[in-house]
Structure 1
Amino acid sequence: MRDDLTKTWQWQSAEGLPYLTCSLLEQWPHGFFTQPFYPRTPEDLSKILEPSADVYRVKQVHGNRVLSPDEIRQELPQEGFPSADGIVTNLQKQSIWVASADCTPVLIGDAVTGNIAAVHAGWRGTAKRIVPEAIARLQTWGSEMENLRIAMGPAISGEVYQVSDEVAGEVVASLFQKEQIDSLQGILNPLKKIANPPILPDPEPGKVRLDVRRINQLQLEQLGIKAQQISIAPYCTYQSPSHFFSHRRSPERKVQWSGIVRI
């Protein structure tokens, strides 16, 4: 599996610095940029992907709000960058960006319409189904599920991400209808037993290890998206200090940026 992912994910170089691309998104200029690019902004980084593109970003708040560039522009005069955690666009030469450290950056492209999305999916946003929200917006512009290509960038891996049972339960609940939830352990235990489980044991009582990217993958599969349409970067932000910032590893509030351009 890791060999397949290594072929799907490629290291690129810009100005001697490394960033990642995913072959699923090869028809769009895109990049998951690394910490050596800090403190450069999306306005600067976008020039690496498409110098003439207009750049859009939001104030990320760990929610499930998704905006278009038009909506971002409408709110800019009042409050600076509007609060949201996803951006979608169906217009050419628009570059959309999200920031992350341990949270999951998700870039999405529609191979037929060319429309794109960029999503910041931490555990709170994942619990609120931020990625399906972004896909729902793409569907209003004619996207079909089988045409989507989804790349989840570097994030903290499940093997090291310790959370409380309660946090894990809140995230896992996003995979169930309310009437299916009988108890906390009633939803956690079944997911410990599936292939590539998103819930892993932890030696500390009341704690588990949580794979947020795997939860997002399961949400997508529930929508009918096939496994071959999704790729998860084989890199952990916590375990790769030379390439990625990690808020769990360090108190520094620094981030890396991920972006994609509609061409």
Structure 2
Amino acid sequence: MVVRSPTLSALPGLRHGWFTREGGVSEGVYASLNTGLGSDDDRDHVLQNRARIAAAMGVAADRLVSCYQIHSPDVVVATSPWTVSENPRADAVVTREPDLAIAVSSADCGPVLFADAEAGVVGAAHAGWRGAFTGVLEATVDAMERLGADRARIVAVVGPMISGAAYEVGPEFVARFRDAGEDVGRWFTPAATADHALFDLPAYILDRLSRVGVGHAEDLGLCTYADETRFFSYRRMTHRGEPDYGRHLSAIALDPR
């Protein structure tokens, strides 16, 4: 049901997890731990699944908070819980409040969890290509520092997401990065399809984290596209022509003080 990072697990005073598709109540293409409020799944099933994740995180169901994600660089500070109907439009959440689980949703994009255990500040970011490209990782680190974190102490871990081997893109996609001055030779390799490339988004995320100066950044190396048993995948859904797909939640919380 959950994947954890040994690096984050070794830090005192916090809980975390990247939740897989296993261990829920949803059925069909959503089987079984679908947490996507924007999916066409039975809403009661989605809420039950989210309650299970809250319990696994050791918080009450109403103390698990997430965003209405828009593939942006926008970050919100969580100082108290909000309801799912009040989800702010953003792609990252940071907090210094104990016993409040902050979460992001994904199904191929990069779910990145952040922690400065000494300062008691944590963050969660949804980093698809657009969010990473436009600065959601840097904005998350900046927001954590405004709460008292030090970027040199921050540990950032990239959870299950689509790997470079499964992420084929067209020439216009590569051109967007080239025009922005990115070293495209580092992130793109030729694909079997003419003029197409494979994009190593996990490596790009790690490089952006390195450039912003976090103390430690790592990738769990788990591919959502390749591992159908454990993970939902938007791209796998499109390749199969399925009607919809499930979403995962990835969460982090500070222990009660």
Match of 1:124 in 2: 130
The CA deviation string for residues 17-42 of structure 1, in whole angstroms up to 9 with x for no partner, is x3110022113211111111313543
SS at match of 2:227: coil
Residue 57 to residue 246, structure 1, CA distance change in 2 (3 Å): same
1:148-227 equivalence runs, <5 A: 148-171=154-177, 181=181, 187=182, 190-192=183-185, 197-226=186-215
1:46 aligns with 2:54: yes
Question: Matched residues in 2 for 1:256 and 1:218: separation?
Answer: 24
Aligned-residue offset at 1:131: 1.0
Partner of 1:60: 69
CA distance in 2, matches of 1:205, 1:169: 15
Mapped to 2, the partners of 1:169 and 1:217 lie a distance apart of 21
Asked whether the equivalents of residues 4 and 17 of structure 2 are also in contact (C-alpha less than 8 Å), the reply is yes
Indicate the residue corresponding to 2:8 in structure 1: 25
Secondary structure, in 3 states, of the residue corresponding to 1:29? strand
TM-score by length of 2: 0.80
Count of residues in Structure 1 that have an aligned counterpart in Structure 2: 224
Query: Does structure 2 conserve the Cα–Cα contact (< 8 Å) formed by 1:172 and 1:215?
Result: no
Q: Could you list the runs of 5+ residues in structure 1 that have no partner in the other structure?
A: 1-17, 182-186
Cα contact 1:107–1:119 (8 A) shared by 2: yes
Instruction: Name the SS for the 1:241 alignment partner.
Output: coil
Q: 1:132-180: CA deviations, max 9, x gaps?
A: 111110111222122101110010001120012322343566xx6xxxx
Amino acid at match of 1:32: W
Per the TM alignment, residue 121 of structure 1 is displaced from its structure 2 partner at its CA by: 0.7
Identity, in percent, stands at 25
Structure 2: how far apart are the matches of 1:224 and 1:89?
20
Q: Which of 217, 231, 243 is residue 244 of structure 1 equivalent to?
A: 231
Select 2:115's aligned residue among 109, 112, 118. 109
The C-alpha deviation readout for 1:54-113, integer Å capped at 9, x for no partner, is 22111111111110124874xx69x63221110000111110111111111010000211
Rate the CA distance shift 1:172–1:21 in 2: closer, same or farther, 3 A: farther
Residues 109 and 171 (structure 1), Cα distance of their counterparts in 2 relative to 1, 3 Å cut: farther
Equivalent-residue separation in structure 2 for 1:125 and 1:71 (angstroms)? 25
Query: Which one-letter code corresponds to 1:33 in the other structure?
Result: F
In the alignment, is residue 141 of structure 1 matched against residue 135 of structure 2? Answer: no
CA distance in structure 2 between the partners assigned to 1:46 and 1:162 by the alignment: 35
CA contact (8 A) 2:132 2:205 kept: yes
The letter of the residue matching 2:135 is R
* Preserved CA contact (<8 Å) 1:159 1:200: no
RMSD: 2.2
Any conservation in 1 of the 2:153–2:214 contact (CA below 8 Å)? no
Q: 1:66 to 1:207 in 2, by over 3 A?
A: same
Q: d(CA) in 1 for partners of 2:206 and 2:187?
A: 10
- Secondary structure of 2:205's partner? helix
Note if contact 2:79-2:96 (Cα within 8 Å) is conserved in structure 1. Answer: no
Structure 2: where are the runs of 5+ without partners? 24-32, 35-47
Residue 253 of structure 1 aligns to a residue whose secondary structure is: coil
CA shift for structure 1 position 230: 1.3
The question of whether the paired residues in 2 share the 8 Å contact of 1:72 and 1:81 is answered with: no
